[in-house]
Amino acid sequence: MSSRSIEIDAESAPQKGAATAEPNGAEPIIAASDVHKTYAGAGEPVHALRGVTLSVARGEMVTIMGPSGCGKTTLLNCLSGLETIEQGEIFVEGRSIHDMPDNERTDHRARRMGFVFQFYNLLPVLSAVENVELPLLLAGLGQGEARNRSIEALEQVGLHDWSGHRPAQLSGGQRQRVTIARALVNDPAIVWGDEPTGDLDSTNANQIMELLEDLNRRNQQTFVIVTHDENIGRRANRTIHMRDGLIEGETVHRQLGS
């Protein structure tokens, strides 16, 4: 991991700063270097990532912004090991995510990562608490323990009284809170969000972001969130700006721990 520098766009906003994700020299929780990802389609191959290098410190909240099609979702999917890469290296918690055998990678994802996407991906026939506990039951946890942890997670997102409601009986903001509870229930080290507020009005979007910030502070979890919304973007410690499959710069909003 010799080349972990990040390109800085020096001509942009004044608060742009150094790309050091490790303020005290600690090992970054995510370290990617020269990541390339190409999709072979019916026509010309699409070079979705063309050499992305970045690092994220443990406990940091980072947002990723950039025009539609610039590779944000692809980057999230590659960093979390959901997609393969052709070139480059990705270390998560010190381990090369793409060198792990498939079953270990799946297991690592299930135990150490949580996912919050734009469209809630909740099962309509299950109640809020059943949706939250599903990953725990799939992971083999006993029913009683899974239920207790799921209720705790729903409490954390302020939905304790709604645990018996099905998704259709909840508002958009409440549904997204259930998704967040589901992402948190296994106490992950990293939470990935792909436009988690994209489907919400600005009041609900702000409330969800406040919740994520609060969880980030309280639980010291690392958050990597793709967003199109500048107001959401600047609430992180740092925004990484992407364009055309590359990182074109970053903006530091507040130092980690401040």
Ligand X SMILES: Nc1ncnc2c1ncn2[C@@H]1O[C@H](COP(=O)(O)OP(=O)(O)OP(=O)(O)O)[C@@H](O)[C@H]1O
Q: Which residues contribute to the site for ligand X (CB under 6 A)?
A: 39, 41, 46, 48, 66, 68-74
- What's the DSSP call for residue 96? E
Which ranges constitute the DSSP H helices of 128-171? 128-138, 143-156
Kindly state the smallest distance separating residue 8's Cβ from ligand X, in Å. 21
State both tokens at 37: 């990802």
Instruction: Choose the contact partner of 113 out of Mg ion, ligand X, none; CB within 5 to 8 A by kind.
Output: none
Kindly state the smallest distance separating residue 72's Cβ from ligand X, in Å. 4
Cβ atoms of 184 and 176 within 8 Å: the answer is: no
Kindly state the smallest distance separating residue 57's Cβ from ligand X, in Å. 23
State both tokens at 218: 């309280």
Kindly state the smallest distance separating residue 84's Cβ from ligand X, in Å. 12
In the chain, the amino acid numbered 196 is P
73 in contact with Mg ion (CB under 5 A) = yes
Binding segment (CB under 5 A) for Mg ion, from list 17-25, 73-81, 149-157, 201-209: 73-81
Phi-psi region of 178 (alpha: psi -120 to 50; beta: other; left: phi over 0): alpha
Q: Which is nearer to Mg ion, 119 or 158 (CB)?
A: 119
Q: Which is nearer to Mg ion, 73 or 227 (CB)?
A: 73
Kindly state the smallest distance separating residue 39's Cβ from ligand X, in Å. 3
Instruction: Choose the contact partner of 110 out of Mg ion, ligand X, none; CB within 5 to 8 A by kind.
Output: none
Cβ atoms of 235 and 209 within 8 Å: the answer is: yes
In degrees, rounded to 5, the angle at the alpha carbon of residue 203 between the alpha carbons of residues 202 and 205 is 60
- Alpha-carbon distance of 244 to 82, in angstroms, equals 21
Instruction: Choose the contact partner of 70 out of ligand X, Mg ion, none; CB within 5 to 8 A by kind.
Output: ligand X
Cβ atoms of 183 and 121 within 8 Å: the answer is: no
Q: Which is nearer to Mg ion, 32 or 57 (CB)?
A: 32
Q: Which is nearer to ligand X, 95 or 98 (CB)?
A: 98
Q: Which is nearer to Mg ion, 73 or 251 (CB)?
A: 73
- Alpha-carbon distance of 150 to 207, in angstroms, equals 21
Chain residues binding Mg ion by CB under 5 A are 73
